[in-house]
Chains A and B, each alone.
Chain A
């Protein structure tokens, strides 16, 4: 599904070169739930930006769902983002004066779906996250956890190949965080591939696979028995 080989991403200023990613290798299979952990500034977000085609890379190769990313133009990258990737952001990134329906509608518009098809997908996505009755609500009328579920619905509506979640529970209290995590696990159980950046070691352990990034490189690669509770057992280090 996602295959990165020797990816390097260097940020350059007049005097400084920063290696955000160096020789970064990661292979994520379809249906996997991968947690990416690491300290601040380790390169987790850069990895997620590169994986989500929001940022370019300087060296290496990257294949997403069998498509080699290198050399693609903006139109092709945008289409890939739209069709294959669903984003879940820490800050939800909902447009405040759009209601839930219109927020979820946004990526579908760029796909060129008919109004009927868009409506069907939006209703389905809202049902999946348990907010079908609140389609006309504004984001500000919802709790943080509900807003994040709307963001998940927006990501799901396009039926993407992979979900990229950047600290999806970072702004939520523990109860809401647990609800969002349960939703992500449910999605994973139904076949969704998910890559999640998180600071929370418990959350990382709750998913099938944990990747630790330090100084732009993967330093630890643990695979856990797929369980949703906290009693995870490392099976391969």
Chain B
């Protein structure tokens, strides 16, 4: 320990004595590590498990019910209203929910202000809440499929009512009153796995959760795909038509449940095929949350390519720092030679360099975290889509410190070995 303190004292002295050199060297490493860290932060958030304790029990249901005549087309991941109702009827899953997304303008019906707040609606079924474990702050879910009752998220509750328990109050949406029966706590999901289908993987959770039948009854807008020549006159007219707009998720506790659910959707799809509706071979899928997110390429290839580029950039920074250190050790070879001459072993010189690399690594870690944060700020300003994908949490700080220490050590290693092996007789007179 005494020698460690001695080496630390020497390292601090070296840093102070060669401060300009070390500022340059630490900056080189810190920029490399910072950019790398920022990239890791984005990828880590993108690839994180949004519901880790049950992600292997929640499954997206993809059905072979596409009526298009192109057998090579990719399996469609949304289904028709009738298909969704059939999935909903199953008594196999612990929880089942179907949903689609819409958008409305809402205001407090009792407010004197006519200002309406834009709100994202999740038109869904009661199973949504236990399946996703959406946390209720007040109240609960609606009791009837066609009820004019809604659950609102914390953000909308703050915007419209200023927060607090507002269960029993009403929102005006398109001139109609909807009773608030439940209010959620602040709730984050990254990625938003239940709506990873339409490039909204990192959006916030929704503002309004409403019964799907109510949403259709009230003509709340949908994005619908269709292969039919049927005339669809309204949103609610999609019931019984070939309009594809609903996603389904089920919670299955064990393989037996999963097999039973697979058989259930296969039978349904087979039945549709036998009726001549479906032209493609059976390809019904149950993908758990992480399989589903992989399938949706939540971490897209550009990010992987960028990760590779930042890794290479970090390598270049290490090489640069290493060549700087080589020059530094060359200029410090007198002192190294003197220490060796008076009795320092090669390993003593190496340990001293190691302590110096730890010290530099610690300083570098601080600057790396700063540069990482700065790079994320710049990235989110330039690319707003990254705003919710750039969290620096404790684990990332730990990774940053570790990478900074490792890069510091790697960049010191070769100069240190060279320094240890310098012939003593050439450095002293």
Contacts and interface: CB of A to CB of B under 8 A. Distances in A.
B9 to A, nearest CB: 9
A87 B425 contact: no
A222 interface: no
Contact of B429 (A55, A75, A166): A166
**Size category, A interface:** 20 to 34
A89 B424 CA distance: 13
A79 B3 CA distance: 16
A55 B6 CA distance: 27
Contacts of A166: 429
B343 A81 contact: yes
Closest 5 CB pairs of A and B: A82-B343, A107-B342, A49-B425, A54-B424, A55-B425
Nearest to B14: A97
B345 interface: yes
A82 B342 contact: yes
Contacts of A93: 334, 338, 341, 428
Contacts of B344: 78, 110
Contacts of A89: 428-429
B343 A75 contact: no
Contacts of B347: 75
B6 A109 contact: yes
Contacts of B56: none
B339 interface: yes
Contact of B425 (A54, A79, A82, A111): A54
Interface centre among B3, B338, B348, by most chain A C-beta atoms within 10 angstroms, is: B338
B429 A111 contact: no
Nearest to B338: A93
Interface string A68-85: 000000110011011100
Contacts of B342: 81-82, 87, 106-107, 110, 154, 158
**Size category, B interface:** 20 to 34
A5 to B, nearest CB: 21
14 contacts: A46-B425, A52-B341, A54-B425, A78-B343, A82-B342, A83-B343, A87-B341, A107-B343, A109-B6, A110-B344, A110-B345, A115-B2, A154-B342, A158-B343
B345 A97 contact: no
Interface string B364-389: 00000000000000000000000000
A81 B338 contact: no
Contacts of B339: 106, 110
A89 B428 CA distance: 8
Interface in A45-76: 45-46, 49, 52, 54-55, 74-75
B349 to A, nearest CB: 10
B335 A91 contact: no
Interface string B1-16: 0110010000001000
Contacts of B89: none
Contact of A78 (B2, B340, B425): B340
A166 B341 CA distance: 13
Interface centre among B341, B344, B423, by most chain A C-beta atoms within 10 angstroms, is: B341
A106 B342 CA distance: 8
A75 B342 CA distance: 13
A52 B339 CA distance: 14
A109 B351 CA distance: 14
Contacts of A111: 343
A95 B3 contact: no
Given A55-B425, A78-B343, 18 more contacts: A45-B429, A54-B425, A54-B428, A78-B340, A81-B341, A82-B342, A82-B343, A87-B428, A93-B338, A93-B341, A95-B338, A97-B13, A97-B17, A106-B342, A110-B342, A110-B345, A110-B348, A166-B429
